[in-house]
């Protein structure tokens, strides 16, 4: 059995490419705006607190400008390509209503009406309890 060394060009295991997700571009733009804000705040702080900052401020301003150019191009890309409207929003599938089986109760047997009597016993008060119990009277004078 012969072993063969394959060159990099001969190996083709490329997966099919997908479209660039909108989230990548929009999150990159958002992070870039944040970075521009940090750079501007850094430039102001360095300029206010230190001497001989012209070169550093110039480099940081160039970086902020590069971010602004990048942001502008990406926002133009989103606007020109209607990238926001091309995003397909899957509509939820509306399933056909499931018809629940109707459960029919069997006919109840016919019961003749029987008079029902409820026996009640009168409440009896024991005299022993009355003797041990002292009544507490509430007295309110509203005058």
pTM (global) more than 0.85: no
Contacts 24+ apart (CB under 8 A), 55-62: none
The alpha carbon dihedral of 38, 40, 43, 49 has a sign of negative
Find the mean pLDDT for residues 31-51: 93
Q: How far is CA 10 from CA 7, 29, 40, in A?
A: 5, 38, 50
Domain spans, the chain:
20-86
CA 108 to chain centre: 52
pLDDT at 6 over 50: yes
**CB of 56 within 8 A of CB of 66?**
no
Summarised one tens digit per residue, pLDDT across range 56-101 is 999 999 999 999 999 999 998 888 766 554 444 445 555 556 666 6
pLDDT of residue 119: 75
């Amino acid at each position: 059995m012969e072993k063969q060394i394959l060159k990099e060009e001969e190996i083709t295991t490329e997966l099919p490419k997908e479209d660039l997700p909108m989230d990548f571009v929009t999150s990159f733009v958002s992070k870039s705006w944040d970075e521009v804000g940090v750079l501007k705040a850094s430039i102001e702080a360095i300029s206010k607190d230190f001497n001989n900052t012209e070169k550093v401020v110039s480099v940081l301003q160039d970086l902020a400008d590069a971010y602004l150019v990048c942001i502008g191009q990406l926002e133009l890309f989103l606007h020109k390509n209607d990238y926001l409207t091309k995003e397909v929003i899957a509509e939820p599938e509306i399933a056909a209503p499931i018809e629940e089986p109707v459960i029919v109760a069997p006919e109840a047997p016919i019961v003749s009406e029987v008079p029902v009597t409820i026996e009640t016993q009168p409440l009896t008060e024991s005299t022993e309890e009355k003797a041990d119990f002292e009544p507490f009277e509430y007295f309110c004078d509203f005058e």
